[in-house]
Structure 1
Amino acid sequence: MLRLLPTVKIAMTPKIAKRLENFKTTIFTQMSSLALKHGAINLGQGFPNFDGPAGLRQGGGHPAIREGKNQYARATASLLNAAIAARFQKDTGLTIDPETEVTVTSGCTEAIAATMLGLVNLGDEIIVFAPFYDSYQATLSMAGARVRSITLRPPDFAVPIAELRAAFSEKTRAILLNTPHNPTGKMLTMAELQEIAALCVEYDSLAFCDEVYDKLAFEAEHISLASLPGMFERTVTMNSLGKTFSLTGWKIGWAIAPATLTWGVRQAHAFLTFATSTPMQHAAAAALSTPDGYYEELRRDYAVKKEILVEGLRAAGFVVYPSSGTYFVVADHTPFGFDSDVAFCEYLIQEVGVVAIPTSVFYLDPEEGKSMVRFTFCKDEGTLREAEFLRDDLFG
């Protein structure tokens, strides 16, 4: 008679490629999970708790689905490619070829990955400004690049020009920019952009520009680096639909670059996702034809939300740093006596019921960011005011 041995479960050590072994579950996932666990108000992760324009939601991708637009999207000459080119021309004055200079991606995160994997070689040096969006370091690690970090420091997070000049060399493959800047809300000035452009030309370096918050510029006009003289031919401009239209789940992004750079981006894109949702591309094309009045209303609405959050944070005792764009503000938590941003955020969730993001995760050296936390105001006014009313619990 066959005897069945008892099943023994063996604990297995997670297996991961060395290039990613230093990366953990993203801080956004961690904090949002804690928010659900403790019933906290999520002012950490940058997704709106309200839907985008009703007209876009009602149309969405469904008409395209019914009309049979359900197969792989074309990589070139699509309806969305043309809409992106038209918007870029309106925003920057640059006329681009939608067939050879626009790549549609599955969100800006994929545009970033495709750009790094398609244009960066093993050992290339890439300059980034810290604090930076966490996917930058991860995708550069996948590409085998060497990251050179330049720290933007409070209160104004200005670009340290002398440090920037010293960082550039013949080894510099590219500089990676984000303006308006997540997490600080900093917007690069024309003078800063001109300095960056001059260095890129001098060292024959590329520029990778993440501009997903370009329509959320409150105190200055957004300037695309690609629009500066001599820069389009060496720049990849990355953007997406989600932040502008409060439709982050649509995951529609794009990369704009001259054909010589687009070829590399598309080669990587072809082996990452191959194609982005066809019906949602049709919906996105409709969104990009939205009249300018929408963007003006968007900025006015967010300006009110920002004021509610900033006033509440200041009343609670935070030192709040200026934010000219995005829907984020960074605040100094040290008046409350915590040793680190992570410890403070855990306290804030568990004892106060509000979520923030510790900014140390946005630096190569976490020590540089441990005095600050990031809050978002992409929430409805009721939620922001509810969080404001909890401020006394900080001292409880």
Structure 2
Amino acid sequence: MSVEFIGYVSAQEQTEIVGPHGAAVDPDYIASSAILQERGGFNRVLVAFHSTSPDSQIVAHHAAFATTHLGLLIAHRPGFVAPTLAARQFATLDQLTGGRVAMHVITGGSDRELEADGDHLTKAERYARAAEYIRVVRQEWHGEAPFDHEGHYYRIKGAHSAVRPVHGSGIPVYFGGASEEAIAVTSKYADGYALWGEPLREAGALVDRVRSAARAHGRRIRFSISFRPIIADTEEHAWERAAAIQAELEARQEKEQDTTGIGLDRAGRKPVPGALPTNEGSRRLQKIAASGSRHDERLWTGVTQATGGRWNSTSLVGTADQVAESLLRYYRLGIETFLIRGFDPIADAQIYGNELIPRVRALVEREGRCGKLTA
């Protein structure tokens, strides 16, 4: 199996403990972080979506034209534009970038946040809409003749697109979520399944569930897992850095307490009572964090504990060699893609490119050679 690395590009420099620096849309930061990750050996970068954030497709467009071959995984919420229009938007950018685009369909984990954009569907309804949305998008990408669609959420007559994805297989579609509804959509329609960083046992069980569901439809899914690696020259220094990150985050939370009562979801914000996410992925992280801050030697949930499991927040802590060995264990579960981003985005991206990614690729290559020798 080939291994793939996905980084992260945001519109401004900001994490739980850094920034925000610069304007809400900082063109220089977008370009420089994209270039840095391209040079560091990342295959793609994720551009996230939130009800308060700059538009993900426009940010991705700027990152694309600052680079030459870096792929783009663009987070996209179904329901806010027509699926036929979204298909043409993604296909257009795919043509302009020479086939570097992928779509990460997200249904949203917070009802309150979705309501800010006028979406009042239930969780089950959002997943049903997402399934219908992906079907229409794919038909627009691949249909040779105009088509009609009569569904629960969309009614379309004579749809047809003059612009197609670069590759005949279309644009890769990623999906996430640990609920039964999410896995059902993934198994039928997604090319890649994204899960947050969990202990090996839990991650392996989730991979098996999704793989089995996809197999029932005669399909194979590519798996992606997300971590926030914390790397230092010694294991002791890495754990010291992890503790310092948690201390800095908690100090910030005390200074920036949300007094609005509506649970503003800014990076690192301490969740207010009643504002914790209820999606299954977050619940899984909350449960894992509640059972302890360290798992499988390297998995650390300190930031997850402080933020309520609202997003990718688990870390692998150690030297570059130790973290690479940990990632290899996830690779052995059948996970071929690693989405990694740091708490200090520029400095950590450099460490990943210089020290972590080459080590993991070397381990995977050696694993492949050993497999061929013993086959």
TM-score by length of 1: 0.30
Name which one, 1 or 2, has greater alpha-carbon Rg: 1
Which of 1 and 2 has higher RCO (CA within 8 Å, sep 6+)? 1
Q: Normalization by structure 2: what TM-score?
A: 0.31
